[in-house]
Every structure is written in C-alpha cells, then in structure tokens.
Amino acid sequence: MLIREATTEDWPAIWPFFHTIAAAGETFTYPLDLSFEDSRAWWLLPEPNRTVVAVDETTGTVLGTAKMNRNHLGNSAHIASASYMVDPAHGGRGVGRALAEYTVDWARRSGYLAMQFNAVVASNEHAVKLYERLGFTVIGTVPDGFRHPVHGYVGLHIMHRTL
C-alpha cells in the first residue's frame, strides 16, 4: 500500500465510497446529500492542510483517503485534526490504520503539539478502538450528540492525543 498526495484526478475514484459513507449517515457529521463537487471541495484541502490517498501499489486502486488539517486557530493553532474514509470493499487490510498513522506523523512533522478529533460517533466502535490503539483517548462525549439512523441518539466523542 502506498500513501500519496490526493489530486482532483483522484476524486472520481474517491467519490463512490465517499458518497456511500456520507449518505449512510452513520459515522460522519457531514451533510448526507453533498454533491460530487461539494464533496470534493469538502475533502480535498488546500495547503497547509493536506489530503492523501492510500492506493494498492500493484493496481493503483484507491483504497482509502485521509484529510489532515489545523483544528483550531489563533492561540490553539498547535492542535491538528484528521478524518479518514476507507472503501468498504477494501476494509480489513489495515488501510485505516495506515492512514491514521500517516496523519499523526504529518501532524508531528508539521510542528503540531496535539491532535483532536471533534466528532467521533460512539457507535463507530471500530474507529474508536483504532484511535485508542494509536494513543488517542476520549476526553469528553457530547451526550446524544449524534442521531444514528439505526441506533438513534448516541454519544459523540472528542478524542485527543499529544504528539
């Protein structure tokens, strides 16, 4: 698996699973009906933020993507954030973990002192466990912060780690 800079040329490969994941409304606090173009602008971030794709080195297939960005401004600008999407067709082979590790390294190399995820859906246990394995802890939970289409209201975690 190779992780490289995402470009607008990658968007047609990202869009199908981005759209599936966003429209399902189970794991992101995004509008559920973002268009092809709006999603692209939403996900592909300009410098100094970054977006990457994880690709299969043999086939070039896009397996997943991550965006990484400053979380706060001003005197909290030392805190980064990141988001990840993995094509469900390519789950279970460590793509999410590789992307998450990449973003932690990016944040550290960029001089950030910490990372904070603002909205981790509590019922997304796979993500919560992955982040915990990477050193993040839940520092707070917005009670009933997310209206899950299947589970109803669930908590919305704020997760954090120092770098």
Q: Tell me if 148 contacts a copy of itself by CB under 8 A.
A: yes
Give 65 or 116: the residue with its C-beta nearer to a copy of itself. Answer: 116
Q: Tell me if 1 contacts a copy of itself by CB under 8 A.
A: no
Which one of 48, 73, 92, 125 is in contact with a copy of itself (CB under 8 A)?
A: 73
Burial of 136 (0-12, 13-18, 19+ CB in 10 A): buried
Burial of 14 (0-12, 13-18, 19+ CB in 10 A): buried
Which one of 3, 18, 25, 53 is in contact with a copy of itself (CB under 8 A)?
A: 25
Half-sphere exposure of 124 (CA within 13 A, CB side): 26
> What b/e sequence results for 40-79 when a residue is b if at least 16 CB atoms lie within 10 Å of its CB, and e otherwise?
bebbbbeeebbbbbbbeeeeeebbbbbbbbbbeeeeeeeb
Give 52 or 85: the residue with its C-beta nearer to a copy of itself. Answer: 85
Question: Pattern of binders to a copy of itself over 118-147, x per CB under 8 A?
Answer: xx-------------------xxxxxxxxx
Q: Tell me if 8 contacts a copy of itself by CB under 8 A.
A: no
Q: Residue 46 CB, nearest distance to a copy of itself (Å)?
A: 17
Q: Tell me if 72 contacts a copy of itself by CB under 8 A.
A: yes
What is the distance between the alpha carbons of residues 101 and 104, in angstroms, rounded to a whole number? 5
Q: How many residues sit close enough to a copy of itself to count as binding (CB under 8 A)? A: 35
Q: Residue 52 CB, nearest distance to a copy of itself (Å)?
A: 23
